[in-house]
Amino acid sequence: MKIFTLRLGPEQDLRKELDKFTKENKVQAGFIITCVGSLKQAILRYADMEEGTELTGNFEIVSLVGTLSQDGSHLHAVISDETGKTVGGHVKKGCIIDTTVEIVIGELEDRKFTRDMDEKTGYKELKIK
């Protein structure tokens, strides 16, 4: 297994930067090991919803999980507001970093993740090779 560490800064888009990092580092079968940081805007797609919901405010990233590949990423996050209220969902582009995000990424060196359209779900789903 290969390990990467990544720190993102203010105004960067969490999803765009993770996709960029994955492409630049040719990550074939990546996954999020841990992540901490803050967002000032989040766009999360809740369960069984077609579109993302935009949230603005001061948020802490409580959890970020998912898979990374050259065919795209699949990321879910839980964030908390200043009262400790949490909300979670599928991470869309538009999650804007407030101060910092620190991420540790693992890569399985003997695997390759791809994504192909699944007729049953209507989404590009993970294939493990």
Domains of the chain (ranges, CATH numbers)? 2-128 (3.30.1330.80)
**What pLDDT does 71 receive?**
94
**What pLDDT does 34 receive?**
98
SS3 labels along the chain: CEEEEEEECCCCEHHHHHHHHHHHCCCCCEEEEEEEEEEEEEEEECCCCCCCEEEEEEEEEEEEEEEECCCCCEEEEEEECCCCCEEEEEECCCCEEEEEEEEEEEECCCCCEEEEECCCCCCEEEEEC
* Per-residue pLDDT of the chain in tens (129 residues, 90 and over written 9): 999 999 999 999 999 999 999 999 999 999 999 999 999 999 999 999 999 999 999 999 999 999 999 999 999 999 999 999 999 999 999 999 999 999 999 999 999 999 999 999 998 999 999
Residue 44's beta-bridge partner residues?
53, 91
**What pLDDT does 76 receive?**
98
